[in-house]
Structure 1
Amino acid sequence: MVETSKIVVDAVEFQRAMAAAIAVAGKEPLDLVQFRIVADELVVSARSHTEAIAVEVSTSYLDVDYDRDGHFEITKAEARALNAMRMKKEDPDEELSLGLLVHEAYVQRTDESGLGLGLRAVKVRRNGNPYESVLGDVPHSLAAAAREPATSAQPKMDGSQWSLVGKVAKELDVRLMVWSNSEPGSDTVRTNVAGAGVAMLVLCSDLGREEDNERSSEPPESATISLNFEDVAKSDAVPKVVTAKPPKGLA
C-alpha cells in the first residue's frame, strides 16, 4: 500500500468547489467536506440535514489507493484552512494546478503549477476512519435523486435556502436551474438544483419545524425531511453529476 495517494486538480475549480461545499456543510456531526473520486474526476461534496451539494473538479493526475483514499473527509474548519491558500492567474492562459497528498491521517495541499515542485504546502487532519464515511455517498445519491421523473410540484425553498443556492451560484460562477420531483400537494418538497458541474438537493417542509432547524445539529422532528445518504444502491455505470437535468419544457 502506498503511503500517500496523489490527486492533481485544476486550482481555480477546486477553490470554487471548496467555497460552495463549505457554505452548504451542516453543523456537527455533518460539519464536513467530502472528497470522492467518481469516473476519474474529483467530486467535492457536503450536506446538512436538508441540503446537499456535489461539485466536479477536473483532474490531471490520479495515483490513488481507492480502498483507503477513494473517498475522504475533513472538517469544515480544516476545509477553510485547506482553501485559504488562494491561487490567482497572472496570465489568462495560465493553467493553475494544485495537488492533494492523501495519507490515512492527513491531507496535504501543494502548489503544482509551474515547475510542479509541490511547494507552498498546507496540511490538515483527515476526519474519522479512512475506510468509512460520515456523510455517505453524496454524489451518487444526488444523481439518483435527479434521475427520478420531474413532477408538476413547484420547487420550494425558504429564505435561507434560496440565499444558499444564490451563494453557491456566485461562488461557482454558474447558472442553475431548479425543478421538483415530489408528489404534488406534498408537505415536504424536494427541489433539485443543477448546473454545469454541480448538483444540489434541497428539502423544504411545512410540517412545523422551528426556524433554522434545518441547519441544526439535530435531525428535524420528521424523519421524512432529513437527508440520509448512508446507504445508496450503486451500479457499475457511474452517472456524472452534470448529466442531471429536468425533462424538456421545465424551467
Structure 2
Amino acid sequence: METSKIVVDAIEFQRALTAAIAVAGGDPLDLVQFRIVGDELVVAARSYNEAIAIEVTTNYLDVDYDRDTFFEITTGEARALNAMKMKKEDPDDELALGLLVHEIYISRTDESGLGLGLRTVKVRRHGNPYESVLGDVPHQLANAARLAPTSVPPKMDGAQWTLLGRVAKALDTRLTVWSTSEPDSATVRTHVAGDGVAMGVLCSDLSEEGLEAEAEASAAEQPQLSFNDDVSVEVSKVVAAKPPKGMA
C-alpha cells in the first residue's frame, strides 16, 4: 500500500513533539496529532483544559489528502518516535527527518545528508485513519484566539503554570499570555502565543465535583475542548509573537 511522505526540520520536530507530549491528556486524550495545515505540518495535543499546536518547518510534502491530512499516535508511541535523537555535528548542518505515513503505521527516517533514510523508527497509527479523536486542534485554537482580549488577567493553577514553563523550555521560545473571558467568569480562558506555537488553557473556579460533572458531560460525546468558538472577530494585535501561519 502506498505511503505519504513528509520531510521536516528535525530539531523543530523534536521540540514540538516534546511539548505536545507534555500537554496531552489522559485516556482517551493521551494522543499526539499531526495535521497538514496549508503547506506546513502542525503537531498538536490536548487535554480537557489545555491544548497546543506547534508549526514545524516542512521541506517536502507528498500526501494522500484523503487519508493522511491528519494522523494520531498515542503518547507512548510518540515517545518512541522521539527517541531517535539527532544532533548537529556542525552549526551549519541542516538536520531533516522524514515521516512515512501508512494506513496502520508511521515510520520516521533520517533524511539528513544523502537522505538515504537508513535510520528508522516505526510506530503504530492510532484509530481509524479517517476519524480524529482530538478534533481539529489548530483551527479550534485559531477560532478561539479571534475573540477580543478583555481586561480579565490570565489565570492558571500551579500545574498549568508549570506546564507552560515546560512548553517554553521544550520549544526554546518566549510566550505571551492574555485572556478573552468576561469579568466574573467562573472559567477563565487564557491564550498563549509564541513563535510558531498557539496554546489555550482553561482554569475554573468550579468545585471538584462540578469539574467532574463537566468532564463526564464532555466525555459522553466526542471530547471537545471549549476553545472552538465559531467567531468571525478580527484578532486584536496584543502580541508580537508569530503563531503558526495556517492557524491564524
Letter in 2 for 1:38: V
Letter in 2 for 1:122: V
What does residue 195 of structure 1 align with?
194
What does residue 93 of structure 1 align with?
92
Q: Could you tell me the percent identity over the aligned residues?
A: 71
Letter in 1 for 2:127: G
Q: Deviations over 1:181-235 (max 9, x none)?
A: 011110100000000000000000000126xx79xxx963676xx8537988699
What does residue 240 of structure 1 align with?
none
What does residue 46 of structure 1 align with?
45
What does residue 239 of structure 1 align with?
none
Secondary structure at 2:215 match in 1: coil
Q: Deviations over 1:163-192 (max 9, x none)?
A: 000000000000000000011110100000
TM-score w.r.t. length of structure 1:
0.87
Q: Does 1:73 align with 2:63?
A: no
Secondary structure at 1:61 match in 2: strand
Correspondence 1:129-208 to 2 at 5 A: 129-208=128-207
Moved more, 95-104 or 2-11: 2-11
CA–CA distance in structure 2, aligned partners of residues 245 and 221 of structure 1: 34
Q: Give yes or no for contact 1:150–1:246 (8 Å, CA) kept in 2.
A: no
Change in 2 beyond 3 A, CA 1:234/1:69: farther
How far is 1:248 from its partner?
Answer: 6.7
Q: Where do 4+ consecutive residues of structure 1 move more than 4 Å?
A: 229-235
Q: Does 1:108 align with 2:99?
A: no
What does residue 127 of structure 1 align with?
126
State which of 200, 203, 215 in structure 2 corresponds to 1:220: 215
Structure 2 unaligned runs (5+)?
A: 241-248
Structure 1 unaligned runs (5+)?
A: 236-243
Q: Give yes or no for contact 2:25–2:47 (8 Å, CA) kept in 1.
A: yes
TM-score w.r.t. length of structure 2:
0.88
CA–CA distance in structure 2, aligned partners of residues 34 and 234 of structure 1: 24
Q: Give yes or no for contact 2:97–2:112 (8 Å, CA) kept in 1.
A: yes
Q: Deviations over 1:13-43 (max 9, x none)?
A: 0000000000000001000000000010000
Secondary structure at 1:152 match in 2: coil
CA–CA distance in structure 1, aligned partners of residues 92 and 123 of structure 2: 31
Letter in 1 for 2:225: N
Secondary structure at 1:28 match in 2: coil
Secondary structure at 1:17 match in 2: helix
Letter in 2 for 1:228: L
Q: Give yes or no for contact 2:174–2:194 (8 Å, CA) kept in 1.
A: yes
Secondary structure at 1:119 match in 2: coil
Q: Give yes or no for contact 1:140–1:232 (8 Å, CA) kept in 2.
A: no
How far is 1:67 from its partner?
Answer: 0.9
CA–CA distance in structure 2, aligned partners of residues 231 and 35 of structure 1: 18
Change in 2 beyond 3 A, CA 1:129/1:143: same
Secondary structure at 2:16 match in 1: helix
What does residue 247 of structure 1 align with?
238
